[in-house]
Structure 1
Amino acid sequence: MSSFFENDSPSNLTEYSVSELSGSIKRTVENAFDQVRVRGEISGYRGPHSSGHAYFSLKDDRSRIDAVIWKGSFSRLKFRPEEGMEVIATGKVTTFPGSSKYQIVIETLEPAGAGALMALIEERKRNLGAEGLFDPNRKRRLPFLPRVIGVVTSPTGAVIRDILHRIADRFPVHVLVWPVKVQGDGSGEEVANAIRGFNALEPGGLLPRPDVLIVARGGGSLEDLWSFNDEAVVRAAAASDIPLISAVGHETDWTLIDYAADVRAPTPTGAAEMAVPVKGELQAQIASLAARLQTCTSRQMDHRRQGVRALVRALPSLDQLLALPRRRFDEAAAGLGRGLELNTLNKRRAFERTAADLRPDVLSNRIAERRQVLSERMVRAERRVERLLSDSHKRVSNAETSLRSVPNRLKVQTARARDRLANLVRHADTAVRHKLAQTSRAVAAQDRVLQSLSYKNVLRRGYAVIRDEADKPVSLASSLQPGAAVSIEFADGRVGAVTGDSGDLPSPPVPKKKVPKSAELAATSKQGTLF
């Protein structure tokens, strides 16, 4: 029996544990695929994890492999991976023993070709253009002579030196530089934050707000300029309230920020030339305009002077202007004496006509006429008074006739009122008796309720009410002091009393408990057994 169990193994294969087998597979895969290049499309990319690592997959039309980029390698990438981008990944294949999966650990990542990046740019350009970010009607004109220029670029490159040198040569103004990274991971976000930061400055603050912005970078490959195709940069440039000049790369290099900017410059130096005019040319132009203005002013003054002289020649002399008024004055002075004499003569004639009308006979006639008019009016007034008196007598007669018939009507109305009053008195007596009976019944009912609720009914059952000196009921013994005067109200009256100490009172008798007869018999029987 023992020999049977010793030989039950099916073969002589070596036995491994799960960990040993997983470790052996991991070493085999890593040795066989230590350094590989894989071409595929990025799938499932959601950006770097909170730990800084990036997890996604590479796939083609038939297969799929998991991929990971550790934090250190991700920070060294020249461009940011995006969903659907075709790339060439370089790294090593390894396994993950915890879940029996294999994956590629990517060390470097590059686009599969410029065509893939250009296709991605074109797609992004179509999407952003559909939102209206590239609409020419949104673009603003650059200020002719800005006082402050904001530059978004790298502080260490040759671009900022070229811009500052060109501005200083053409027209020196105040330049604010916002230092950013112009390539690599995070550079697009820094450029977008710089544009938004310049727009957030308050006019008149401690830091002056730029009148125009320049976003600049030198030339490079498509991958080097990839940050300026970032969607965040394009949206920040389109939303900028400050006019923006895009100067990224050389003249042949185009990025998406060029479409969103208000003006696109072929080079950073060209952006500086667009931002400010040439000071010398402006001074020469101003001098030329000033000379032309002076010449025009002199010519206009000469022309006006000639016109004034012509007008002076056309005007008459002073003697000619005063000749006619002087003649009218002399004629008026000559006719003044004759006019006074004629006026005096006319006044005298009017006075004589008025005096002729003031004779006594004329006045007597006027008085007679007035008296006649007054007499006629008095006669008319007397007649009117007589008519009024006659009308009044008629109204009085009519009123007297009406008053004679009043007693009979009053008698009839009085009799009717007396009968009505008698009926009302009878109804009132009946109503009063009914109301008194109803009220008596209600009062009796309320009295019965009051008697049932009165404390005096409780007193009739042997209780008493104790009142203090203020005639207020006492409900607690602790509220009374020894020696206090109290009154005790019983059912048949009140008596006075004085309180004392509770220790002086005899203790109440203890009631004797009744013992059942059965218990007494039991006790007797027990005593009999003891003795």
Structure 2
Amino acid sequence: MDLLDDDSGNTPEFSVSELSGAVKRVIEGEFGFVRVRGEVGRVSRPRSGHIYLDLKDDRSVISGVAWKGVAARFETQPEEGMEVIATGRLTTFPGQSKYQIVIEDIRPAGLGALMAMLEKRKAQLQAEGLFAPERKRPLPYLPEIIGVVTSPSGAVIRDILHRLRERFPRKVLIWPVAVQGKSCAPEVARAIEGFNALTPGGAMPRPDLLIVARGGGSVEDLWGFNEEIVARAAAASEIPLISAVGHETDTTLIDYVSDRRAPTPTAAAEIAVPVRMELLSWTGEAGSRMTRAMGQRIELRGQRLRDLSRALPRAETLLDTPRQRLDLLADRLPRGLIRGTEQRRVALSDVAGALRPSLLTRVIAHGRESLGRRTDRLSLRPITREIALGRDRLDALSARLGEAGLRRIDSPRQRLDGLSRLLETLSYKGTLARGYAVVRSGEGHILTRKTEAQDAAGLEIEFADGRLALGGAAPRPKRKAKEAPEQGSLF
């Protein structure tokens, strides 16, 4: 019992924190810088921005952590199943009594690891339908503005501008980005999103077509265009996009999601615009063909019009018959007016003769006699009443008969008055009333010329209100019956 007490008294005592700190110092002192090769297991990315993961092989597992500032500088982000080489330092986590590696750099362990990660990422995006042909949009035939995402200092942009200038000069907007390294993927993604965010027709106009271009290089150099952020930005672009990354044999993820892949940046410029001289030649040929076709069509229509015009009658021929009919009707009009006037005069005379008062008087007298003969056989009261009713009816009929007679007389009278006024208007008497006069010689002959008036022994001038004799012998009297149709010179 005493021996045990002596042993325990010689063993130093540590608190839990002291022991954990001592272990921490030992591990960090012995393994201040290590490189570990292994397969990435579980990967966790909380909102803090840190990355927590497991590195494992076929027998052991070690936890790893990459702080936010360091993780943002990784050229290749770790993914589950990737074989990597992690560089960092070992430390402990006293809160859980475990050790871990604080990762300062992580890279894929060789080309095979990169290709395996690429195939896995490609399969994931393909399963989401980002490579589907129906998602690809047609390129504009002749874009007004072309946006280019590339490095402004390389030969790629010069090749693109030179080819555009040769084929069909267009406006080009360049968004400078890094085309390799750890900043390549985020800058390319931001450039694609930035071009899509521009307003069409604004101060900085939105491009009609995008070209993402880079020259050739190794898999590591082109790896920024295999990043998921770049592929998703290209797939979400509303502007048609041409990928021209690397040479013809180089393939990246952006080639699968873009609307069109070009084998080289120069080929991308050739795909973007047609050849201007070929368009001018085609439009000139099309214009010539259209001009010839229109000329032939006009000539054919003109020939058909001339053929049809020969079958049509002349305008003078079409008017001959209506003109002749008009002349016939004009000749018949005066005779028709005279005949109509005479017929209406006769009809008026017949109506006026049938409405004489003597006839009505005889009818009334005859009725009175018949009434007197029946008076002896009839009662006075019914007879008186019937007589009163008969008288009323007779008065009404007499009034209606008188009105009808007047109407029948007034209408022909008005027509007759109108024809009389027309006759007076057409008579030379009406012309005299308007200020004209008839000049006759002393013998009563009508004079129409100045020389006849100078040679006459005397003159007689007829006005509307009478005749006036001027010098010479008095004219011979004319029979009154012949004065009406007489006509002469008016002035």
- 1:254 paired to 2:251: yes
Q: How does 1:134-149 map to 2 (within 5 A)?
A: 134-149=131-146
What letter matches 1:101 in structure 2?
Answer: Y
- 1:204 paired to 2:201: yes
What letter matches 1:122 in structure 2?
Answer: K
Q: How does 1:101-116 map to 2 (within 5 A)?
A: 101-103=99-101, 105=103, 107-111=105-109, 113=112, 114-116=114-116
What letter matches 2:99 in structure 1?
Answer: K
- 1:40 paired to 2:39: yes
Q: Distance in 2 between matches of 1:231 and 1:322?
A: 90
Partner of 1:339: 336
- 1:276 paired to 2:312: no
Q: How does 1:270-349 map to 2 (within 5 A)?
A: 270-349=267-346
Partner of 1:118: 118
TM-score norm. by structure 2 comes to 0.63
Partner of 2:418: none
**Cα RMSD for the two superposed structures:** 3.9
What letter matches 1:205 in structure 2?
Answer: G
Contact 1:111 1:117 in 2 (8 A): no
Query: Paired residue for 2:81, among 81, 85, 93?
Result: 85
Contact 1:76 1:185 in 2 (8 A): yes
Q: Kindly provide the CA deviation profile for residues 325-353 of structure 1, in whole angstroms up to 9, marking residues without a partner as x.
A: 23323332343344233322321232123
Residues 365 and 188 from structure 1, CA distance in 2 versus in 1: closer, same or farther, beyond 3 angstroms?
farther
- 1:128 paired to 2:125: no
Q: Distance in 2 between matches of 1:286 and 1:302?
A: 24
SS in 1 for 2:175: strand
- 1:175 paired to 2:158: no
> How high is the sequence identity, in percent, across the aligned residues?
46
What letter matches 2:302 in structure 1?
Answer: R
Query: Paired residue for 1:160, among 129, 151, 157?
Result: 157
Q: Distance in 1 between matches of 2:313 and 2:183?
A: 90
Q: Distance in 1 between matches of 2:260 and 2:53?
A: 39
Contact 1:238 1:261 in 2 (8 A): yes
Residues 345 and 61 from structure 1, CA distance in 2 versus in 1: closer, same or farther, beyond 3 angstroms?
farther
- 1:193 paired to 2:181: no
SS in 2 for 1:44: strand
Q: Distance in 2 between matches of 1:363 and 1:243?
A: 112
Q: Distance in 1 between matches of 2:56 and 2:225?
A: 28
Q: How far apart are 1:211 and its partner, in Å? A: 1.4
Q: How far apart are 1:102 and its partner, in Å? A: 5.0
What letter matches 1:313 in structure 2?
Answer: R
Q: How far apart are 1:293 and its partner, in Å? A: 2.4
Residues 357 and 97 from structure 1, CA distance in 2 versus in 1: closer, same or farther, beyond 3 angstroms?
closer
Q: How far apart are 1:88 and its partner, in Å? A: 2.7
Q: How does 1:63-78 map to 2 (within 5 A)?
A: 63-68=60-65, 77-78=74-75
Q: How far apart are 1:259 and its partner, in Å? A: 3.5
Partner of 1:245: 242
Contact 2:43 2:51 in 1 (8 A): no
Q: Distance in 1 between matches of 2:174 and 2:278?
A: 27
Q: How far apart are 1:74 and its partner, in Å? A: 5.4
Query: Paired residue for 1:231, among 228, 231, 234?
Result: 228
Residues 339 and 21 from structure 1, CA distance in 2 versus in 1: closer, same or farther, beyond 3 angstroms?
closer
Q: Distance in 2 between matches of 1:284 and 1:366?
A: 112
What letter matches 1:242 in structure 2?
Answer: I
SS in 1 for 2:182: coil
Q: Distance in 2 between matches of 1:335 and 1:127?
A: 102
What letter matches 2:231 in structure 1?
Answer: V
Contact 1:67 1:106 in 2 (8 A): no
Partner of 1:56: 53
Contact 2:40 2:53 in 1 (8 A): no
Q: Distance in 1 between matches of 2:56 and 2:24?
A: 25
Q: Kindly provide the CA deviation profile for residues 383-442 of structure 1, in whole angstroms up to 9, marking residues without a partner as x.
A: xxxxxxxxxxxxxxxxxxxxxxxxxxxxxxxxxxxxxxxxxxxxxxxxxxxxxxxxxxxx
Unaligned 5+ segments in structure 2 are 368-384, 394-491
Q: How far apart are 1:101 and its partner, in Å? A: 2.1
- 1:217 paired to 2:217: no
Query: Paired residue for 1:375, among 377, 385, 389?
Result: 389
Q: Distance in 2 between matches of 1:345 and 1:97?
A: 143
TM-score norm. by structure 1 comes to 0.58
What letter matches 2:327 in structure 1?
Answer: D
Q: Distance in 2 between matches of 1:111 and 1:373?
A: 146
Q: How far apart are 1:201 and its partner, in Å? A: 1.5
Q: How far apart are 1:375 and its partner, in Å? A: 2.4
Unaligned 5+ segments in structure 1 are 380-531
Q: How far apart are 1:209 and its partner, in Å? A: 1.5
Q: How far apart are 1:317 and its partner, in Å? A: 3.3
What letter matches 1:227 in structure 2?
Answer: G
Residues 230 and 322 from structure 1, CA distance in 2 versus in 1: closer, same or farther, beyond 3 angstroms?
same
